[in-house]
Amino acid sequence: MNARLRILGSGLSAPGLPDIDALAAVLAGGELGEEKPGSGSISLLSPRERRRCPETVRLSMAAAEQACRAAGIDPAQPDAVFTSGMGDLAISDYMCRTLAETPELLSPMRFHNSVHNAAAGYWSIGAGACGDVTALSGASDSLVTGLIEAAGRVAADRRPVLLVVYDTVADGPMRAVWSARHPFACAFVLGVADDAEAAIELHAQEGLRQDDCPPLPAALAERSADNPAARALHLLTLSLDRAHGPLRLAASQGPGLQIEPAA
């Protein structure tokens, strides 16, 4: 199975990587910092909403907004696919702790923010997106899951799709099952690739269980190994025309993906 796509725009939100320009600077030899991305760049939520919304929402929304801006597309327009292995780990921690200690005191707002589609829902509200805004998981394979779903939509619907990939960090006991130390979010607006345009090709790779990607600068390679969502740094690097050779993104179940610039 092959699919051809065009990356119309991309966005990024992670410590030291508040946007694509910051990634380009690191790829050009700059230092990678650890300062957390602020929420100031999110224009689609009011300051009050920005304060009240969960971290996953701030992180993913910043990347999604950048990608739409770079693609020159109204954020309300594209259908959107949000993909995350673990969803909001801080809220899971709060929910499970409260249920263990004082279940009657569970916060109704935290409860409705605990759904896996909270980031998708806040995006739809902030962007005014009334089309389909869905939320997927593939555990550590969520990046591949999201790329296949987005490619399927572009092929079936023949219009651009916003793909948002994010995962955060477990501060509490969930660290035992999710060891990432740095949060990560990125977004792509993916569209139909006409023959004349620069495009990428996705090839399904059965039984691909180990990533095999061109090397990244050490600090970025560390992030990519730290958080499964951050394996998207390889694709962002490819989209900046800075990757040498195809990417092979593994999956623990189902097909992995080989991704390369279209010939």
Partner 1 sequence: MKDLHIAAMTLTCAAGSGLDALRASLRDGKSGLRRNDYPNCELDTWIGRVEGVENVTLEGDLARFQCRNNQLAALALDQDGFRTQAAALLERHRPERIACIVGTSTAGISSTEQAFRELDGAGKFRPEHVMPWVHTPHTSAAYVAAALGLEGPVQTVSTACSSSAKVFATAARLIESGWADAAVVGGVDSLCLSVLYGFHSLELVSSDPCRPFDRARRGLNLGEAAGFAIVEPRPQASLGRLLGWGETSDAHHMASPHPEGAGAIAAMRLALERAGLAPGDVDYVNCHGTATPMNDRIETAALKTVFESPPPASSTKAWTGHTLGAAGITEAVFSLLSLGDGFLPASLNCQDPEPDAADFILRAGRRQKVDAVMSNSFGFGGSNCTLIMGAA
**Helix-helix angle 55-71:118-127, to 10 degrees:** 50
Contact flag: residue 156 with partner 1 (CB under 8 A): yes
Q: Which stretch binds partner 1 (CB under 8 A): 31-39, 58-66, 103-111, 231-239?
A: 103-111
Q: How far apart are CA 186 and CA 62, in angstroms?
A: 9
Backbone φ/ψ region at 241: left (φ over 0), alpha (ψ -120 to 50), beta: left
Q: Kindly identify the residues of this chain, within the stretch 6-65, that bind partner 1 according to CB under 8 A.
A: none
Residue 203, token pair as written in the block: 């090839």
Compute the least distance from the CB of residue 146 to partner 1, in Å.
9
Contact flag: residue 201 with partner 1 (CB under 8 A): no
**Closer residue to partner 1 in complex, CB, 101/241:** 101
Bridge partners of 200? 5, 261
Q: Which stretch binds partner 1 (CB under 8 A): 20-28, 37-45, 140-148, 208-216?
A: 140-148
**DSSP letter at 18?**
S
Q: Kindly identify the residues of this chain, within the stretch 206-225, that bind partner 1 according to CB under 8 A.
A: 206
Residue 187, token pair as written in the block: 């977004």
Contact criterion met (CB below 8 Å) for 92 and 114: yes
Bridge partners of 247? 259
Contact flag: residue 255 with partner 1 (CB under 8 A): yes
Interface ranges with partner 1 (CB under 8 A): 1, 3, 76, 84-87, 92, 95-97, 99-100, 103-104, 106-108, 111-118, 120-122, 124-125, 127-139, 141-142, 145, 148-149, 151-153, 155-156, 172-174, 176-178, 204, 206, 251, 253-255
